[in-house]
Amino acid sequence: MRILLFGGTTEGRILAQRLVEQGHEVRVSVATEVGAEELEGTPGIEVLVGRRDAWAMAELLRNCDLCIDATHPYAEEASANVRKACMDAAVPMHRIAREATNASGCMVVSSVREAGRLLASTEGTILVTTGSKELFDLKDVDPARLVVRVLPTHEGIAACERMGIPHRNIIAMYGPFSQELNEAFMRQYMVCWLVTKDGGRAGGMYEKLAAARNCGVRTVLISRPSDEGMSIGQLLWGLEEEHT
């Protein structure tokens, strides 16, 4: 089966490797070079790099038998484009859903912008782990209070610079991170607040929350969009059933 998989996520990489092992022809579309690096050298997988709209995705789907959306749970625009592309190309699609975290004790808000409005009237250093794309939504907060963890890319660092984040407050690293390293960051920067999305187990969410508890840091959680789908195991089992 010829399969096109969207997503440079942890589960996307694992699934791509398992699909190759099952004998499928697999192409993986990732948004950035960082995602491509994680798949580099994996036998049997063709990696395509770049952000694509629905039309460009539909072009990639020509001659494919199946599409899999394994993008990040918060990548709503990308998922919407995948769905539209599959409809336009008349290719069946499956969505891989990441299990949500039991994040009790967090302050839950609907968006990064809402988190910014909430924290603007508080005091203390804020560790932001929501990525670089929505940094401007924290414009209500004094940028000197922000310690931002982003991917080690020109794009991520440039977004921090545009926001006026002090360079000493930019942590450009590729996760997920251990509890110990999260705690080290929180203590080094004397963090009072954590702003995060629910990246689930694959995104190191449990380690992040445990570190915040140990360091007395209050957590502001961006609520996750509705993300219905199946697990990697369910998808692989279903494909095996179709070919037996």
pLDDT in tens, 91-100: 999 999 888 8
Rounded to whole angstroms, the Cα distance separating 28 from 12 reads: 8
Please, what is the average pLDDT of the chain? 92
Tokens representing 9? 């996520």
pLDDT at 61 over 90: yes
pLDDT for position 108 = 95
Torsion (CA) 186, 188, 189, 192 in degrees, nearest 10? 40
Per-residue pLDDT at 43: 84
Tokens in use for 45?
């997988």
Query: Is pLDDT of 243 > 70?
Result: no
pLDDT band at 16 (very low <50, low <70, confident <90, very high): very high
**Which residues pair with residue 143 across a beta bridge?**
none
Q: Is the pLDDT of residue 77 over 80?
A: yes
Backbone angles phi, psi at 85, to 5 degrees: -60, -40
Nearest-angstrom CA–CA distance, 33 and 50: 8
Q: Cα(106)–Cα(126) distance, rounded to whole angstroms?
A: 15
pTM, two decimals, is 0.88
Q: How confident is the model at residue 240 (pLDDT cuts 50, 70, 90)?
A: confident
Relative orientation angle of helices 205-214 and 179-188, to the nearest 10 degrees: 40
C-alpha 69, offset from chain centre? 13
Whether the link from the prior residue into 73 is cis, omega within 30° of 0, is no
Q: How far apart are the C-alpha atoms of 180 and 146, rounded to whole Å?
A: 21
Segment holding 21, helix H or strand E: helix 10-21
Q: How far apart are CA 7 and CA 78, in angstroms?
A: 9
Please tell me the distance from the alpha carbon of residue 42 to that of residue 136, in angstroms, as a whole number.
36
> If residue 85 lies in a helix (H) or strand (E), which one and from where to where?
helix 76-89
Domains of the chain and CATH, by start: 2-98+228-242 (3.40.50.2000), 107-222 (3.40.50.620)
Identify the pLDDT of residue 42.
78
Helix (H, G, I), strand (E, B) or coil at 113: helix
